[in-house]
Structure 1
Amino acid sequence: MKIFRCGHCNHAIFFENYSCENCGHLSGYKDKGRKMLTFTPDSENLISDENQKAYKYCKNIEFNACNWVIKKDSPEDYCNACLLNRTIPNLSDLNNFEKWQNLEVAKHRLVYQLQKIGLAIPSKMRDINGLCFDFVAQQNNPNLMTGHANGVITILLREADSVLREQMRKQFVEPYRTLIGHLRHEVGHYFWDRLIYTDPKALEEFRTIFGDERVNYGEALQLYYKVGAPSKWETSFISKYATSHAWEDWAETWAHYLHIMDMVETAYFFGVTVKPIKKKKELKTKVTFDPYTIEDFDVIIKTCRPLSFAVNSINRAMGVPDVYPFVITEPVVVKLKFIHRLLLTKRQ
């Protein structure tokens, strides 16, 4: 994520901010051009400090669920991120309200990243091949699960409960479980349909690298949950779950590709340099580039490894879990490179 600044006082603003914490000017994200606009707080209209043009907030601002802005004369009431919502929870239940807000934060960050990559993400309600989100409570329906099917990404509200999420992380012996991780994984399944299935050449290369997706998916998952991951899985896969089926290997690797790109992009905008006192070459890096502009993925991964080690070390100093508790082996790098090359050719 890039660093945003107030158009009035130049103070730094977080992506989710509704106002500048320094001068009090209202703030709103404009996805076209990826800019944070600011506005005089006591004005009846949202007139941008930057360009003096008139805007309006996405309708979901009334729930403090979105700070994106659209042009004043736009016929749309919702921003491009909120247009992807097919189902939101019953907001009369206060327990649902905060969980939905947390889901929206993660979803908006996902949309920011997909837009920066240059991927089309039309709403499924307007395009049969598009994407949409169902944020729902499981209630008494055990068959309702977090997942993806035909462009519909379903996320159970319980995933937005930090306590329950941590319990599930321990139950499934996972090193990492977050809302943004879920969303990045599930959207990977959507883009497999869009980028791989419809491209014979990409599909052939996919099968060489990830395996044959024609293996029965249901049976493969049953086997995985029965016997677990194979021994020494970590030499070739980014996670245990990635071993269950070629589709899951793709989705897990896709999610980690997005993790890596976002981490390096953020480090770039902060000008992060890792320069240990004891000159260990493998722990040294200087983030001097936006990863979305780099064609050679080796450059990105070479930067990511010492960066993640440094950040993990800081977390351990504070007694909290690693930010990125994964080891990226060379076979995983091959998979990541495939995704990177593919996306370079598919940008809008």
Structure 2
Amino acid sequence: DTIVIRKAGDVIPEVLGPVVELRDGSERAFIMPTHCPECGSPLAPAKEGDIDLRCPNTRSCPAQVRGRVEHIGSRGALDIEGLGEVSAAALTHPLRPEVPPLVTEAGLFDLRAEDLFPIDVEVRDAETGLVRLDADGEPDARSPFRRQRRAPLEGRAPTASRPDPVFDPERPFDGDADFILSAAAYELLDNLERAKTKELWRFLVALSIRHVGPVAARALAQWFGSIDAIRAASREELAAVEGVGPIIADAIIDWFEVDWHVEIVERWAAAGAQLSTPGHPGPGAAVVSGGVLEGVTVVATGTLEGYTREGAQEAIMAAGGKAASSVSKKTDFVAAGPGAGSKLAKAEELGVRIIDAAQFRILVEQGPAALGE
């Protein structure tokens, strides 16, 4: 159908209704599905009182595992180059081998060259999502992590996860002398190795705990200093952290009560992931950043040129400020761009200083004094 929508809030649009004159008679009424289209599990609310239906097979549903692995590699989480949509699909839902290298994200940092080499994936149309067929009518398959052998490339230095040259003619995998591991595979392994030392808050976001985004993750990391301390904290201790609150506290406690969630943390730690902040004094002693926005609360709303929604929040927090989600009397600045909604109106009502994208960049780089009065 063709519908008319409008911007009714900051995120979710409002559907006003259909454009009836554009209907040609081929339309049919939408029927809410009862089962997950990927794994067939019966759909149900995540908890009593929820309106939205979700697939409860969180551990094994191919779509959910694929989505979580892609999320781990995203800029807002561990920012792992090479771990995007295509790689996530290859690692969790390949055409071959029958058992994917990643059944859950727990094994991500255990991946080896031998796990990547045999992967074949179906090529899908970027627009329709359907599998492309070759000239014989068979699914078009590609091998993203191996390539045909060619002459060795001189001057390629070994790295920690690549102990021998990329194009070592004496090291075929699976006894296949015609193919060797691709440069993309080695780069992915290198980037996974580097990701093990990323900041604690990024690991918290990467765990896909419901409601835990960059803002809450930074607050938790600064206050507790380690995932072990967060796991050991009570609901009251979690909720008391500024920027967390009872809903997020409940989500964290619920997440750690699931055995395969705990397995993720334990296997990442065993593989060498740094799940604590070096030198942190311990729970209850938040680390002060000392940035140019220390003690300053900023709300970002609308489209700020040069920043994504998460990027604007990260810029505020990286400068030592608090990235608030709502405007109050305690708010120091509201950075507003095109599409700003109720938050802009609230700022005007309360007399909070409003700045544009150019002023926002100055604020996060140089501090409030650089903006003048």
> TM-score with structure 2 length normalisation?
0.25
> TM-score with structure 1 length normalisation?
0.26
The structure that is helix-richer by fraction is: 1
Bigger radius of gyration among the two: 2
